[in-house]
Structure 1
Amino acid sequence: MARADEYPDLGDRRRRYRDDVHGIIQQYQGESRRYRRVHNSLQTLIMVGSAVVTTVSSLDTEPLTWQRILTIAVSFTITVSAAITGYYKYRERAYFLQQTADAIEEQLNGYEYGVGDYKDEDPDAALALLTKKVEDLRNEQRRRQQQLDQPTEQASPTAAPSA
């Protein structure tokens, strides 16, 4: 109760941060899976819908038949799906989130097992290094997200996955 009124010291804050890193990794991985699912669903809808429109259009012989109505409805759905996929860039978001989650996990594993950059560090210095590296990765992720939100003309090129 007495410690609740005082600001935690640096060591306590770093230890809390270390414990929070697992949650950050899980959050990025979960968001990545969600964006990938949305992207895959919309891409499937676009592919299947395109085939349906082509088939139904070739069967159209009368003006206002069920085929024409279906063609219009499916064409509209495909157009909206393609627009949403292009605008929100679900695939790129999923890719970057998974990439960041993997990099944070790599840093955490290095810290926990005392390998790589953490090999010869004392516990406090290793924890400080982990905090710095994770924050750098999170800042890079935020920068990528902001680039994805920019219109195509304004966004600088990124290493996005190819289609």
Structure 2
Amino acid sequence: MLSWIAAKNLFWLGKDMPGAAHFAFLVISIFFAAVTFLQFVVEFEDAALWDWEDKGKSVSQLRLDLELAEERRILEARRLTPSPVERQASYKERTPAEVDRLRRESRYYRRVHLWMQWLLFFCSAGITAITAWYDPPQPGKGVLIVLGFTITVITGAIGYFKPRERAFNLQQTADSIEQNVTALDLGIAPYVQTEAANLELFATTVENMRVEQRKREQQLDQPHQGRQEVV
């Protein structure tokens, strides 16, 4: 409804709004009203469209059930705890998923960094173009203020969040873990011992890499002075 009123005052102030626009806003308003009504019915009506599985249980009872289930899980895990070699083999099988996760996060931060850089380029070029086009910079003064504010915010965000450095560290860790997985599968150095020794060395190496990755992320979260003290 507010969008309907805003569109009328912005585009058709002092004149009649077209019937097609009225009809479009009317249809959208009816749709959202129907969806809101359905949501209230599902949430608050006793005879809802379906019954909730835990309906009638108190929060304290749910917490007690969760604690009991956790205790049963711990007892069962202790009874069925596999040998270290089996756990290391299972760890090795889960490593490709960890590599995929690191690569996805690396691509995400790389895309964020690229979008920020392109936005900086366009804003900087826009300031130069508008300043050259308007002399004095009117009516482009407001646009210049917005572009300058955007550049300041993006520059501060890049310096604080450091998406490029995060993407590089994640990609480097993923490549190192993948290299160790390949070496273990091929039986090449440093995995040239027995299977149990190779699995133990592999698990130790990968865990050290993950610890180093977490340390690098923590260093990126620290202020510049704090990072110098850590180094």
The two structures have a TM-score, normalised by structure 2, of 0.63
- Structure 2 distance, partners of 1:7, 1:81, is 50
In structure 2, what is the equivalent of residue 51 of structure 1? 125
Read off the aligned partner of 1:74 and give its amino acid letter. L
Partner of 2:186: 113
Give the gaps of 5 or more residues in structure 1.
Answer: 159-163
Aligned residues: 155
Contact 2:103 2:171 in 1 (8 A): yes
**Could you tell me whether the CA contact under 8 Å between 1:104 and 1:134 is conserved in 2?**
yes
CA distance in 2, matches of 1:80, 1:3: 50
The sequence identity of aligned pairs, in percent, is 36
- Give the aligned partner of residue 171 of structure 2: 98
* RMSD, aligned α-carbons: 2.0
Identify which range, 86-95 or 4-13, moves more after superposition: 4-13
Distance 2:130 2:77 in 1: 71
- The CA deviation at 1:156 is 3.6
Is 1:37 aligned to residue 126 of structure 2? Answer: no
Task: Tell me how far apart the structure 1 counterparts of residues 135 and 145 of structure 2 sit (CA, whole Å).
Answer: 15
Provide, for residues 88-141 of structure 1, a one-character-per-residue CA deviation record: whole Å limited to 9, x for no partner: 00000001111111111111111011001012x111110111000000111111
Contact 1:39 1:90 in 2 (8 A): yes
**1:154 partnered with 2:220:** no
Higher mean C-alpha deviation, range 50-59 or range 27-36: 50-59
Provide the rounded CA distance (Å) in 1 between the counterparts of 2:126 and 2:225: 34
Residues 120 and 151 of structure 2 are in contact (CA less than 8 Å); yes or no, is this contact kept in structure 1? yes
TM-score, normalising length from structure 1? 0.87
Contact 2:92 2:199 in 1 (8 A): yes
Q: Which residue of 2 aligns with 1:69?
A: 142
Q: Secondary structure at the match of 1:115?
A: coil
Q: 1:3 to 1:148 in 2, by over 3 A?
A: closer
Instruction: Give the counterpart of 2:95 among 21, 45, 58.
Output: 21
- Higher Cα radius of gyration: 2
